[in-house]
Amino acid sequence: MGENNTSVYEFEPTNIDGEVTPLQKYEGKVLLIVNTASECGFTPQYEGLQNIYEKYNDQGFEVLGFPANNFGGQEPGSDEEIKQFCNVNYDVGFPLFSKISVKGEDQHPLFKYLTTASNPDFTGEIKWNFEKFLIGKDGELVHRFRSDTKPESDEILKAIETSLDS
């Protein structure tokens, strides 16, 4: 565990409109937290993320996108530019947050927790854009997926459905 953080509900990141957003507001929901980027080979995954968000949202599922410029300079824009890009290109309806750092010395505390929390898959640094962290209804990390696991893959869909049913 990271610095005594026991769930994602303890974090209060800023959303893409500049408002502090306690993750406590998502308590009891299943969350897929993703570090995103606008100029990445995986950027088309925004479409898949939006599709699964629409598919499961009314069952208590949220996708939370955290733009980050840690990998290959693939998220150079401002929050406003990122928001516009996501709306225009992918009609993103799920919550987006203010651009943060997901690794290194300035790593956001939420991602420090996510990369160190125990889970059945793996821990350690994020390797690239669009890694995915599945959070159960109790706010704890259930599964972690690397960038190349597509949002609509059987692996992720099964994990979401299992978490929603639990």
Catalytically active residues are 40
Strand-pair partners of 20: 14
Distance, in Å, from the CA atom of 91 to the CA atom of 89, rounded to the nearest integer, reads: 6
Tokens (6 digits) for 7: 């769930």
Kindly provide the b/e burial profile for residues 119-143, where b requires at least 16 CB atoms within 10 angstroms of the residue's own CB. Answer: eeeeeeebebbbbbbbbbbebebbb
Contact 156, 131 (CB under 8 A): no
Tokens (6 digits) for 119: 């889970």
CA-CA distances (angstroms) from residue 64 to 3, 4, 50, 105?
Answer: 22, 23, 10, 23
